[in-house]
Structure 1
Amino acid sequence: MFPIIDKHRTGEQIRMLMKRQNITVKQIQEYLNLSCVQGIYHWLDGTSMPTVDNLYALSELFEVPLDDIVCGNRKYKGTRNICDSNRRMMEYYIRIVKVA
């Protein structure tokens, strides 16, 4: 299978990183100097992808490597996918915070 970027899972990953760091769509718009927030919402719902420059800037904003933002259809070391692992960790974190 030819490796491709999964836009929907990448959007979910961006949303998860935003939630983890309490970053709003408006803050991303201002950080990236975008004219409107609509494009960001398109990223989040998987309609489109950020440009490479915007992905790089997001990695700086979130303080994570690009690999932690972009999710592909390729599996790593067995059946676990990095984005799936990150999503599971975030779900555990949210559960712990709600209990505390």
Structure 2
Amino acid sequence: MTTTIDKAKTGQQIRLLMEKRGVTVRDVKNALSLACVQSVYHWLDGQSMPTLDNLYALSDLLEVPMDMLVCGNRRYDPGKDIPEGAERLFRYYRLIQDCMAA
């Protein structure tokens, strides 16, 4: 199976995180020094994806890791290399990821 990014789901995820943080499309445009808001609307509608630099800046603006912005068909298991004593934290992480996917 080829690993792919789902642009529509990624756009929905970005929109959800923006709403949770109270960030507007204009806020994103200004924070990322974009020429116009149309690029942001294209991301949110799943027509295109932010560049890697813009994903990085967007993750900082929304205060989430980049992995929380991008949705695809890859199954990521952060629990593979769990530091001792952190098992509970990663169980919560998986629960949150599952809830967000639902």
Q: Shared topology, TM-score over 0.5? A: yes
Percent of residue pairs bearing the same amino acid type: 58
| 1:85 counterpart = 2:99 | yes
Structure 1: runs of 5 or more not aligned: 89-100
| Cα deviation, residue 86, structure 1 | 1.9
Counterpart secondary structure, 2:50? coil
Q: Is the 8 A contact 1:71 1:83 kept in 2?
A: no
Provide TM-score, normalisation by structure 2: 0.75
| Cα deviation, residue 73, structure 1 | 1.4
Separation of aligned partners in 2, 1:83 and 1:42: 25
Partner of residue 44, structure 1 = 44
CA distance 1:62–1:53, change in 2 (3 Å): same
The one-letter code sitting in structure 1 at the alignment partner of 2:8 is H
Partner of residue 25, structure 2 = 25
Structure 2: runs of 5 or more not aligned: 78-93
Provide TM-score, normalisation by structure 1: 0.77
Separation of aligned partners in 1, 2:47 and 2:22: 23
Greater C-alpha radius of gyration: 2
Matched residue pairs, number? 85
| Cα deviation, residue 74, structure 1 | 2.2
